[in-house]
Amino acid sequence: MKKNQIEMYWDVGSTNTYFALKLIKPLLERYDAELRLHPFNLGYVFRNNNYELMKESKAKLRNRKRDLMRWAEKYGLPFSIPRQFPIKSSRALRGSLVARRHGVELAFVQKVMDRYWEQGDATVEEYAGLRPIAQELGIDPDAFETLAASDEIAAELAQETDRGLERDVFGVPMIIVGDELFWGKDRMEFVEDELKRRIAETSAA
């Protein structure tokens, strides 16, 4: 087990989670760190706070779109805004918990995010769209869907989301190193600083 750990709360409907998963890779390699993922049902949180993304001002939405494309251009990523947005993300979040049991959680999440944010494949909101991904990763698609749709996995997703709220997670991506929370895709320098600090403390102990 790698001694340096970074946690990340995520949701497939988050543009910034797509970028964060790409931009955090160099840190994982540089510091031999493990990324521990936590599915976070952002739609549930939004509904309980009466927040609707698409009801923000048109000027803000236009600016957000252009800003996202700047990030894609800067890092050479094939990001694009899907024609169908937003989508229901709970099935993909549940699917990640099934993938976790097979030791391929990160690979599953990356494939889901790439299909949606690079290929515009909105079928990832349904089990029919997730089954091929499961199969690619060596998981029987029938068993995958049965478990993902179970009350057991539903309860596990609710627990992950509730635990995130208890830890002051209010949005995604939320990156956590120890007790320090970093919100967004543009906090990698601070994440690295915290990793360095913790490594130095451990070395000095």
The pLDDT tens digits for 129-148 are: 999 999 999 999 999 999 99
Mean pLDDT of 52-81: 87
**What does the pLDDT read at residue 60?**
82
Q: Check residues 139 and 3 and name the one with the higher pLDDT.
A: 139
**What does the pLDDT read at residue 55?**
65
Residue 54 has pLDDT above 70, yes or no: no
Residue 90 has pLDDT above 70, yes or no: yes
Mean pLDDT of 8-35: 96
Q: Check residues 89 and 53 and name the one with the higher pLDDT.
A: 89
In the chain, domain spans: 4-204
Q: Kindly state which CATH superfamily the domain 4-204 is placed in.
A: Glutaredoxin (3.40.30.10)
Mean pLDDT of 44-52: 64
Residue 30 has pLDDT above 70, yes or no: yes
Average pLDDT score, the chain? 93
Contacts of 84 (CB under 8 A, 6+ apart): 120, 122
Contacts 24+ apart (CB under 8 A), 176-181: 176/6, 176/7, 176/8, 176/9, 177/5, 177/6, 177/7
Q: Encoding tokens for residue 107?
A: 């690979």
Residue 150 has pLDDT above 70, yes or no: yes
